[in-house]
Amino acid sequence: MDVLAPQDCFVCGATSGGEAVCAACADELPRRPSTACPQCGLPGLDGGRCGACRRSAPAFDATRAVFDFAFPVDAMIHALKYRHQLAVGRYLGDALARCGADFAAEDGAGADLVLPMPLHPRRLAERGFNQAVELARGFARARDLPLGLAVVRKLRDLPAQAGLDREA
């Protein structure tokens, strides 16, 4: 039952009232600084585009992140992806939704649809679920947006991204 509705905080183990993370630990999660590059999302000094994006812009316009990929967020993502701790996915999706409202206000636009990145059918069969759907589900619910589960599909079976560098 803990997989669906955890009784203890993922980080410290204290009773968390059904949330994946207790309030004390939530306040300590490593938040992405507001000075991050608005295009690639990497930490920066002034909130402007970083040197790498100025030299060779990525094929996307913007990246927004709530947290830095550091402990315990990295462990939470690992638990979602590889240990099927769906409550962690809902927690992270809700956090993204709260932060997403700020991003929409900054960018002057809102979302019409939440579109999780699909997994290749082979990878989906291996894992049993799509972690991006779990994040998107929390985001869509919190923002009262439709969730587009059958809008796109992944056709090519590419190697896992875990461990790849920025250039890959």
What is the average pLDDT across 118-142?
89
Half-sphere exposure of residue 166, counting CA atoms within 13 Å on the CB side? 9
- Count of structural domains within the chain: 2
Strands (E), 74-139: none
> Look-up: residue for tokens 């250039």?
167
**Each residue's pLDDT tens digit, 86-127:** 999 989 988 888 876 666 555 546 678 888 989 999 989 988
For 52-81, the pLDDT digits (tens) are: 999 999 988 888 888 999 999 999 999 999
Structure tokens given for 168:
């890959």
Inside any domain, residue 167: no
Q: Are residues 17 and 83 in the same domain?
A: yes
Are 55 and 24 within one domain? no
Helix and strand totals (H; E) in the chain = 6, 0
Q: Is 163 a member of any domain?
A: no
Confidence (pLDDT) at 108: 47
149 and 98, same domain (yes or no): yes
Residue 114's SS3 state is: strand
Domain residues for 37? 32-65
56, 131: one domain: no
Residues forming a β-bridge with 15:
8
Within a 13 Å sphere around the CA of 14, how many CA atoms are in the beta-carbon half? Answer: 8
pLDDT at 22: 95
124 and 94 in a single domain? The answer is yes
Q: Report pLDDT for 1.
A: 44
**Mean predicted lDDT score pLDDT of the chain:** 85
